[in-house]
Every structure is written in structure tokens, then in C-alpha cells.
């Protein structure tokens, strides 16, 4: 018999147990089917039971935080709220720390600090304890501002340090024949806050936003002087028809010169900065080591002859 006939017979023989397993093995028992169908036939659940089935975070924590956020927004001046929102944006934590969560955290920490200060004042009333109560309250309330401000400064410094290399990479890509969006997409594959911001700008452009407007929104999310000058130069080049590669090359050279000047400035400031630790820490120890034995020898000679 030909080989194809044997292969067909084996395939038919193997298909019979596979078909039986597929039909019978996947079935649920009749009792399980009736139990599943009977779940929706019981008594109807009211709103209270539906709420109780949710987690404690959804039932207690989230409404409490929303209430604190509303109270904090009501008693906080609008200027402070706007500055806090700007710090959140500059720190790059807007997705994890929205303004409502930050306000609720500020209120919670302020209440905790006020409670601790009140307990200290209740144990032993005094002017110092009253000042401690004020310090604890204000410190708890403004702790989030200090943390966000520090993180925003660090993030802007990282963006400023990464900008010259990123601009060089975009310039090389554009001069090699890539478009501006493709060059930005290639540069945005790196790690760091600047790469993430460029990726977000590229997403805005892909969603239909004008390129100039997307770069302006990039400036709203950052606070770097060099990046602002680059965006303004790019907008002027697009408006007057100047080649983008030429603008990128000029901006890259300017960024490199600024970085070298900043490094030289920090190097010239270093001796002045080192004066204080040398005078306060190293010089006293050197005087003790050098003049200590002489002082001991002179004192022994003067007292004992």
C-alpha cells in the first residue's frame, strides 16, 4: 500500500480519541452548571450590600482623601495650589501624584503634626512646646512642597545635563536624512526624564497637535533655560523657512559651549568652596598634630624647669 494511505489511516485513528476528549472532557458537571445559572436568580442586592462587597480602600480611604482634598483646596489660596501643581508637573509625578492627592496628603500631614504638637503641649505647657506645635504643624503641611521642590530641581538638572547629547543625536539623525519626528523618536528610546518628555511630545504630534504647539507644551512641563532657547529657535526656523538641520547644528554647538563654560565656572568656584572645610575641619587637626607636642614640651619645661 502507498505511504499516503498509511498516513491517512493513522490520522483518522488519532483523530477519534482527540474528538472524544474535546467533546467530553471540557464539559462541566450538571450540578456546577445549575449552580452557575442559579446565582442570578436569588434575592436582589441593595446598594449597601454592593458597597460592602468593595474593598476597604474604595469604601473608606478614597472618599476620605477626596474629602480632605476638597477641604484643603477650599482653605488654600489659589496661588499656592497653582504653584503646587506646577511643582508636581516639573517633578514628573503627575500620573502618580495628582493635585487632589497632594492636597489631601498635605492636610493629613498637617493634622498629624498638629496632633503631635498638641500632645507635647498638653504634657507640659510652655512657650517652647507651643513653638514646637507650630513647627510640627507647618512642617507637616509643607513637607510635600519641600519634597516636590527638591525632586523638581533634580529632574530639571538631569534634563539640562542630558540636553546637549540628545540634541547632538537629533542633529546627526536629521543630517543623515531622517525627518525631525523620526530623529526625535530615535532619541526618545534612551532612558531619563528628557527622553520621556520627548516621547510624550512625539505622541502629541502623532495625535494631530501642531509641532510648535507640542514643543510649547514641552516647555510647560519643564523649566530648563537651554531647552527654552532651543524651542524658540526651532519655532523661528519653522516660521521663516530656515533649514532645521542648520538650526539644530547651531543649537548643538551653542549647548556644548555653554556646558564647557558652566564646567569652567564650577571649577573656578571650587577653591572658594574648599576654603571653609579646610579652615574649619582640616586646619585645626593639623595644628593639633603639629603644635601639640611642642605645646606639651613647653608646658613641661616651664613647670618643671
3-state secondary structure the chain: CCHHHHHHHHHHHHHHHHHHHHHHCCCCCHHHHHHHHCHHHCCCCCHHHHHHHCCHHHHHHHHHHHHHHHHHHHHCCHHHHHHHHHHHHHHCCCCCCCHHHHHHHHHHHHHHHHHHHHHHHHHCCCHHHHHHHHHHHHHHHHHHHHHHHHHHHHHHHHHHHHHHHHHHHHHHHHHCCCCHHHHHHHHCCCCCHHHHHHHHHHHHHHCCCCHHHHHHHHHHHCCCHHHHHHHHHHHHHHHHCCCHHHHHHHHHHHHHHHHHHHHHHHHHHHHHHHHHHHHHHHHHHHHHHHHHHHHHHHHHHHHHC
Looking at the structure, do residues 117 and 81 belong to the same domain, yes or no?
yes
Q: Which tops the pLDDT comparison, 70 or 304? A: 70
**257, pLDDT greater than 80:** yes
pLDDT of res. 151: 92
Q: Is the pTM of this model over 0.75?
A: no
Q: Indicate the residue among 125, 141, 156 that finishes a domain.
A: 156
**190, pLDDT greater than 60:** yes
Residue 282 belongs to a domain: no
Mean pLDDT of the chain: 78
Residue 26 belongs to a domain: no
Looking at the structure, do residues 190 and 124 belong to the same domain, yes or no?
no
pLDDT of res. 26: 46
Looking at the structure, do residues 116 and 138 belong to the same domain, yes or no?
yes
- The structural domain count of the chain equals 2
How does pLDDT run across 232-249, given as a tens digit for each residue? Answer: 888 888 888 888 888 888
Residue 283 belongs to a domain: no
Q: Indicate the residue among 156, 180, 208 that finishes a domain.
A: 156
In which domain, by residue range, is 64 found? 55-156
**Smallest Cα–Cα separation from 232: which of 206, 251, 258, 249?**
251
How does pLDDT run across 42-51, given as a tens digit for each residue? Answer: 555 555 565 5
Residue 11 belongs to a domain: no
**24, pLDDT greater than 50:** no
Residue 77 belongs to a domain: yes
Cα–Cα distance for residue pair 248/255, rounded to 1 Å: 10
**22, pLDDT greater than 50:** no
Residue 132 belongs to a domain: yes
**52, pLDDT greater than 60:** no
Residue 50 belongs to a domain: no
Residue 251 is part of a domain; what is its CATH number?
Answer: 1.20.81
Q: Indicate the residue among 221, 240, 255 that finishes a domain.
A: 255
Cα–Cα distance for residue pair 288/137, rounded to 1 Å: 45
Amino acid at each position: 500500500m502507498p505511504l499516503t494511505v498509511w498516513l491517512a489511516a493513522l490520522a483518522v485513528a488519532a483523530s477519534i480519541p482527540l474528538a472524544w476528549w474535546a467533546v467530553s472532557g471540557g464539559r462541566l458537571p450538571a450540578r456546577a452548571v445549575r449552580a452557575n445559572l442559579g446565582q442570578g436568580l436569588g434575592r436582589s442586592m441593595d446598594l449597601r450590600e454592593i458597597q460592602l462587597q468593595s474593598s476597604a480602600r474604595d469604601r473608606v480611604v478614597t472618599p476620605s482623601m477626596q474629602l480632605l482634598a476638597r477641604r484643603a483646596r477650599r482653605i488654600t489660596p489659589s496661588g499656592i495650589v497653582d504653584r503646587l501643581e506646577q511643582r508636581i508637573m516639573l517633578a514628573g509625578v503627575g500620573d502618580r501624584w495628582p493635585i487632589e492627592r497632594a492636597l489631601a496628603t498635605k492636610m493629613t500631614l498637617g493634622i498629624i503634626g498638629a496632633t503631635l504638637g498638641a500632645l507635647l503641649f498638653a504634657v507640659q505647657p510652655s512657650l517652647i512646646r507651643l513653638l514646637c506645635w507650630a513647627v510640627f504643624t507647618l512642617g507637616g503641611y509643607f513637607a510635600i512642597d519641600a519634597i516636590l521642590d527638591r525632586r523638581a530641581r533634580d529632574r530639571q538638572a538631569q534634563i539640562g545635563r542630558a540636553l546637549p547629547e540628545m540634541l547632538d543625536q537629533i542633529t546627526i539623525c536629521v543630517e543623515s536624512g531622517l525627518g525631525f519626528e523620526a530623529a526625535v523618536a530615535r532619541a526618545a528610546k534612551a532612558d531619563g526624564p528628557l527622553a520621556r518628555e520627548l516621547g510624550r511630545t512625539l505622541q502629541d504630534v502623532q495625535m494631530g497637535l501642531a509641532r510648535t504647539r507640542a514643543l510649547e507644551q514641552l516647555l510647560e512641563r519643564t523649566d530648563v533655560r537651554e531647552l527654552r532657547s532651543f524651542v524658540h529657535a526651532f519655532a523661528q526656523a519653522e516660521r521663516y523657512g530656515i533649514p532645521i538641520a542648520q538650526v539644530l547644528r547651531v543649537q548643538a554647538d551653542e549647548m556644548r559651549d555653554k556646558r564647557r563654560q558652566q564646567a569652567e565656572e564650577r571649577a573656578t568656584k571650587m577653591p572658594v568652596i574648599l576654603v571653609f572645610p579646610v579652615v574649619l575641619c582640616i586646619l585645626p587637626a593639623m595644628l593639633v598634630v603639629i603644635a601639640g607636642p611642642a605645646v606639651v614640651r613647653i608646658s613641661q619645661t616651664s613647670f618643671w624647669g
